[in-house]
Amino acid sequence: MSYVIKGQDGPWELVIGLEVHAQVISRSKLFSGSATEFGAEPNSQVSFVDAAFPGMLPVINQECVAQAVRTGLGLDAQINLVSRFDRKNYFYADLPAGYQISQYAHPVVGGGHVEIELSDGSTRRIGVTRLHLEQDAGKSLHDQHPTKSYIDLNRSGIALMEIVSEPDLRTPEEAGAYLRKLRTILRYLGTCDGNMEEGSMRADVNVSVRRHGEPFRTRCEVKNVNSVRFVMQAIEAEAARQVEVWESGGTVEQETRLFDPARGETRSMRSKEDAHDYRYFPDPDLLPLVLDEAWVAGLRAELPELPDAKRARFVAKHGLSAYDAAVLVADQETAAFYETVAAGRDAKLAANWMMGDFFAALNRTGRSIGDSPVSAAALGQLLDLLADRTINGRIAKEVFEAMVETGEAPASIVENRGLRQVTDTGAIDRAVDSVLAANPDKLAEYRGGKDKLFGFFVGQVMKAMAGKGNPALVNDALRQRLSA
């Protein structure tokens, strides 16, 4: 871990921990039967429970518990068969009850871990302290009226998983890799859509700095950061601020801060000075949550293959590099696409095509793997045409571009455009003869010892054959004629 902030008198290391709030995928809310769908008319998905009418009692949604347990299993974490809900007390206009039902002392999921991959090819294991279930708050709109805030409680009571990491992260890159990996795992499990733009995944970032070998110093919490890039920027900005405070003889105060992406700096949320005094106590409306071991085992048995396992399989079964495998498993749809292309074919070649021309085409056309202009089956057919030598590698790229443009099948593009590779040695020999005849000076130079000109002749012959010559046969024919 060589990332440090260079101070005036020596380097500083970073200590980072993340609290991720992930919205649970479920049809109805954590403690009420209202719908969770995004984008509904204001206050149309609100029950008396969500609006905290007096006397309303919460009843927990079994699927939300299952989603938390699945996520815990996906993080290789301890599942607590007995857990409990507490009230976290604070006042805000979009929290009608004046408290959030959360799990403080006894979360449903205990310690686990996430394996992250870094750009230098190394991996690190990041500890997960806990995962607990809690209610989301409503949404406030502050920009609709000069003196009023508007409140929509549709989000109020939707289940969240708060996933807390150990302070194991040491660089902005690691924090970014952790968030991306966590998002991948949640998406594989189908427990959260991981959409940070819509707010279904948000991060609170704890940052402190220290001299190498020191114990932890005071941390600050940067609240509600809503993209991977902003998390990385917020860490850099906050760490730089703290180094400046310490080096100028000051003391970092533990506080809650906000990241301002436009200015690239964090600022204090002074209004939240009492924010950490939540006066938690067990919610008297709710009995302990007790899970049956067999039910948990059933959930475990139904887990999908997770990214780490899939990556290991791609390396072992398909002979891919760890890097290629990591790129292909980052998204479940991409991995499935790849497996369709690679089935029964040269798996390494399939990976190269996906990560080269295919991803480039998606980028260029602004499409995603879900609405790709070229299907997995069609890309596979193209590889078949390469494998049975109907076309050569250069023509394959041309055919692929035509597939992106027209959506036609590769075989019909090859037929209609006459791109079939020429393996007729008579035709190749004729092309070689005419090229040599047209370039007597180059031929003389080559014979005089300028070996590098071989490539020039190959190029000329291929050009004469409109790119369709079989490269191996062209090489053979040339080598034979030139050494004659």
Partner 1 sequence: MSLDPATVRRIARLARIHVDPAEAEQLAGEMNGILGWIEQLNEVDVDGIDPLTGAAQMAMRLRADTVTDGGIPELVLGNAPDRAGAFYAVPKVVE
Structure token pair of residue 282: 């067990």
Closer Cβ to partner 1, 29 or 219, answer by number? 29
- Tokens for 314, please give them: 């791609």
Instruction: Closer to partner 1 by CB, 26 or 242: give it.
Output: 26
60 versus 453: smaller Cβ distance to partner 1: 60
Residue 42 interacting with partner 1 (CB under 8 A) = yes
Q: At a CB cut-off of 8 Å and minimum separation 6, what does 470 contact?
A: 389, 392, 421, 422, 423, 428
The CA distance from 375 to 343, in Å, is: 14
One character per residue 83-122, x = contact with partner 1 (rule: CB under 8 A): -x----x-xxx-----------------------------
Q: Which residues in 150-189 contact partner 1 (CB under 8 A)? A: 150-153
Closest by alpha carbon to 53, among 70, 28, 26, 32?
32
- How far, in Å, CA of 228 to CA of 203, rounded? 9
Nearest distance, CB of residue 58 and partner 1, angstroms:
10
Instruction: Give the residues across from 469 on adjacent strands.
Output: 422
Report if residue 199 touches partner 1, rule: CB under 8 A: no
Q: How far is the CB of 61 from partner 1 (least distance, A)?
A: 5
Among the listed residues 10, 11, 33, 121, the single contact to partner 1 using CB under 8 A = 33
How far is the C-alpha of 153 from the C-alpha of 136, rounded, in Å? 10
Lookup: tokens for 239? 């760490």
Stretch that binds partner 1, among 288-296, 300-308, 410-418, 426-434 (CB under 8 A): 288-296
Q: What's the DSSP call for residue 145?
A: S
Report which secondary-structure segment, H or E, holds 366: none
For residue 420, the SS3 value is coil
Choosing from 13, 18, 22, 45, the residue that interacts with partner 1 (CB under 8 A) is: 45
User: Which of these segments, 36-44, 117-125, 190-198, 240-248, binds partner 1 (CB under 8 A)?
Assistant: 36-44
Residue with smaller CB distance to partner 1, 25 or 228: 25
Choosing from 8, 122, 144, 363, the residue that interacts with partner 1 (CB under 8 A) is 144
Q: Is 286 in the site for partner 1 (CB under 8 A)?
A: yes
What is the distance between the alpha carbons of residues 181 and 17, in angstroms, rounded to a whole number? 15
The distance from CA 55 to its chain's CA centroid, rounded to whole angstroms, is: 43
Measured from the CB atom, is 6 or 91 closer to partner 1? Answer: 91
Q: Which of 34, 80, 184, 390 contacts partner 1 by CB under 8 A?
A: 34
CB 329 within 8 A of CB 314: yes
- Residue 355, helix vs strand vs coil: helix
Choose the stretch contacting partner 1; rule: CB under 8 A; options: 60-68, 310-318, 323-331, 425-433. Answer: 60-68
> Closest Cα partner for 171 from 222, 112, 239?
239
Nearest CB to partner 1, comparing residues 281 and 323 = 281
Alpha carbon distances (Å) from 141 to 98, 137, 162, 447: 19, 13, 24, 80
Q: Which is nearer to partner 1, 85 or 358 (CB)?
A: 85
Chain-centroid distance of CA 426 in Å reads 53
CB closer to partner 1 out of 3 and 48: 48
Q: Which is nearer to partner 1, 151 or 473 (CB)?
A: 151
Could you tell me which stretch among 163-171, 274-282, 376-384, 394-402 binds partner 1 (CB under 8 A)?
274-282
Write the interaction track for partner 1 spanning residues 303-332; mark x where CB under 8 A is met and - where it is not: ------------------------------
Q: Which residues contact 225 (CB under 8 A, 6 or more apart)?
A: 202, 203, 204, 205, 231, 234, 259
5/40 with CB nearer partner 1: 40
Q: Would you say 11 and 212 are in contact if contact means Cβ atoms under 8 Å apart?
A: yes
Size of the site for partner 1 (CB under 8 A): 57
Kindly indicate which of the ranges 70-78, 149-157, 181-189, 465-473 contains the residues binding partner 1, using the contact rule CB under 8 A: 149-157
Span near partner 1 by CB under 8 A; candidates 40-48, 311-319, 320-328, 452-460: 40-48
- CA distances in angstroms from 68 to 39, 75, 92, 110, 142, listed in the order given: 24, 11, 26, 11, 32
Distance CA 302, CA 327 (A): 25
Residue whose CB is less far from partner 1, 153 or 382: 153
Q: Between residue 417 and residue 456, which ones bind partner 1 under the rule CB under 8 A?
A: none
Query: Would you say 280 and 88 are in contact if contact means Cβ atoms under 8 Å apart?
Result: yes
Q: Which residues bind partner 1 (CB under 8 A)?
A: 26-28, 32-35, 41-51, 53, 59-65, 84, 89, 91-93, 140-142, 144-153, 258, 269, 271, 274, 277, 279, 282, 284, 286-290
